[in-house]
Amino acid sequence: MSKKDTIVFVSGNFFALHPGHVRLLRFAAECGERLVVGVSALQPSNDIPTPAERAEALRELGIVTDVVILDDGVEAHLKALRPHIVVKGKEFEGQANLEEPILASYGGKLLFSSGESTYSGAELLKFDQRAAHGAGLSVPRDFLRRHSLTSAGLEERISALSRLSVVVVGDLIIDEYLHCEALGMSREDPTLVVTPRGVDRFVGGAGIVAAHAAALGAGVKFVSVVGDDGVGEDAARRLSDLRVQTGLIRDESRPTTLKQRFRAQDKTLLRVSHLRQHEISRALQDKMIEMLDAAMTSANLLIFSDFNYGCLPQRVVDHVTATARTQGILLAADSQSSSQVGDISRFKHARLLTATEYEARLALRDQNSGLAALGFKLLGVTSGTSAFVKLGAAGVLIVSAPHAKMLGVEDRLPALNSNPRDVSGAGDSMLTASAMALAAGASTWEAAYLGAVAAGIQTGRVGNIPITPVELRDAVRQ
């Protein structure tokens, strides 16, 4: 039989349509001529879109031939449709699948794939843009409606942030922006020639996480490592000006991490990093543990902000985690892997983990699972409660440990700033705002939305500038 005659079938709940679903559907569409999607008739709660609403969202993707609501279940529809191919996510391979005996009865095939993980999810963006509010961000009204989020309720959460005591530990970075004018191409060789016009410096890395927390009104203690140099002294001054109480440990074996960005016409031309990535010595680890033990005596929240430059050896992480759990301190963690290699799975028992899709797949050594399955697997490995899988321009997938009364606790938020100026620091602002909201009693969905708003505000400007409660309030007033 030719591909032209092939009917392909995919079924699922599709409670929160996200890029992982689109990847799977795109793969399925390429397997035949007609792609039929079955949407379950389940309606676990009023917070979830109805089957009809989920079916309409799938139709709008433009890659589905037909959508049916499975009022009589998957088996009945399979027997009536008799598709040539059924496609399921890779995570179902090796399990008992009810489709197999039905397909075997007439020679159909069952394929497993989660689609290409390089897919960007850009197709989803056009369906998620809503009317802009005062901060210039789009408003995901469907998400707000699903989780009964109101401006008044969100403003109450923002007000509660000032009552927190926060400890931040991780790699301090100074970000230096060299603003240049492009002069053109060299005549001697194919080299871009620029002339510098100005320099701006910002606190970055774990330092900006601490600065965001302080700007949002919390009392903040920040523990990190600096070199014996002028950049470290500058960092200490800047953090003091930002009302961050610091415990900066001097390590003569490394420079203070400095990242330079050469920019022209609002674009980054080149990045240069001055850093070392070896672990701090055991003596410095002991000093860090001593500082953190003292800082945690009055803390509500501890945030690990790991850039994998040697500031957070596993010995320190394990000690701090055990102490925080004993004292009832909420834990949140992020471990970045861009030009470096990290492992978000080494942070256990966190109320919140934030990771890009790449970082989650790297930590779990999993290139096949769908996005939601990937998030739940991360929670299983770490004994965590919720994870935000960051998807760049496609927003963030939110997964939370399954609740006995609800199926598939997941949802997706689009990126709220459709015209970002500088994406550096977006994840740090989301981590800080979301973790603080959780520590102040917010639900996972409230925390995710406030984090997305913070990220949207951050990407609207160049350089890491701490976000204030006024900015958050302005942004949540629809």
Residue 450 corresponds to which tokens in the numbers above? 């406030």
Domain that holds residue 456: 128-476
Residue 138 corresponds to which tokens in the numbers above? 């789009």
d(CA 359, CA 336): 7
Matching residue, tokens 């037909």: 66
Query: Where is 399: in which H helix or E strand?
Result: strand 396-400
Say if residue 415 is in the same domain as residue 450.
Answer: yes
Report residue 38 CA to chain centroid gap: 29
Say if residue 312 is in the same domain as residue 395.
Answer: yes
The pLDDT assigned to 347 comes to 98
d(CA 53, CA 142): 11
d(CA 133, CA 130): 9
Say if residue 281 is in the same domain as residue 388.
Answer: yes
Write the DSSP string, 327-341.
TT-EEEEEE--SSS-
Say if residue 184 is in the same domain as residue 218.
Answer: yes
**Which CATH number goes with the domain that contains 14?**
3.40.50.620
Answer for the pair 105, 98: CB distance below 8 angstroms, yes or no: no
Question: Which pTM value belongs to this model?
Answer: 0.79
Say if residue 357 is in the same domain as residue 261.
Answer: yes
Which has the closest alpha carbon to 426: 180, 137, 97? 137
d(CA 136, CA 117): 30
CA angle, residues 211, 216, 217, in degrees to nearest 5: 100
Q: What is the DSSP letter of 138?
A: B
Q: Which of 87, 119, 151 is the last residue of a domain?
A: 119
Number of domains within the chain: 2
Say if residue 94 is in the same domain as residue 186.
Answer: no
Say if residue 113 is in the same domain as residue 207.
Answer: no
Please give the single-letter amino acid code of residue 72. D
**Which CATH number goes with the domain that contains 449?**
3.40.1190.20
Q: Which of 93, 119, 145 is the last residue of a domain?
A: 119
Say if residue 245 is in the same domain as residue 341.
Answer: yes
Which has the closest alpha carbon to 347: 431, 430, 442? 431
Please give the single-letter amino acid code of residue 65. T
Between helices 19-29 and 371-382, what is the axis angle to 10°?
A: 130
- Cβ of 443: how many Cβ atoms within 10 Å? 17
Q: Which of 119, 137, 169 is the last residue of a domain?
A: 119
Give how far Cα 383 sits from Cα of 201, 226, 352, 401, Å. 38, 32, 11, 9
Tens of pLDDT along the chain (478 residues) come to 556 689 999 999 888 888 888 889 989 998 999 999 999 988 877 767 889 988 988 988 888 999 999 988 899 999 999 999 999 988 888 888 999 999 999 999 999 987 765 444 444 443 443 333 334 799 999 899 989 999 999 999 999 999 999 999 999 999 998 989 888 888 888 888 888 888 889 999 999 999 999 999 999 999 999 999 999 999 999 999 999 999 999 999 999 999 999 988 878 888 999 989 999 999 999 999 999 999 999 999 999 999 999 999 999 999 999 999 999 999 999 999 876 788 999 999 999 999 999 999 999 999 988 888 899 999 999 999 999 999 988 899 999 985 444 444 788 999 999 888 888 889 999 999 999 999 999 999 999 999 999 999 999 988 889 999 999 999 998 6
Say if residue 112 is in the same domain as residue 135.
Answer: no
Say if residue 24 is in the same domain as residue 137.
Answer: no
- What 3-state class would DSSP assign to 221? strand
Say if residue 105 is in the same domain as residue 152.
Answer: no
Say if residue 139 is in the same domain as residue 81.
Answer: no
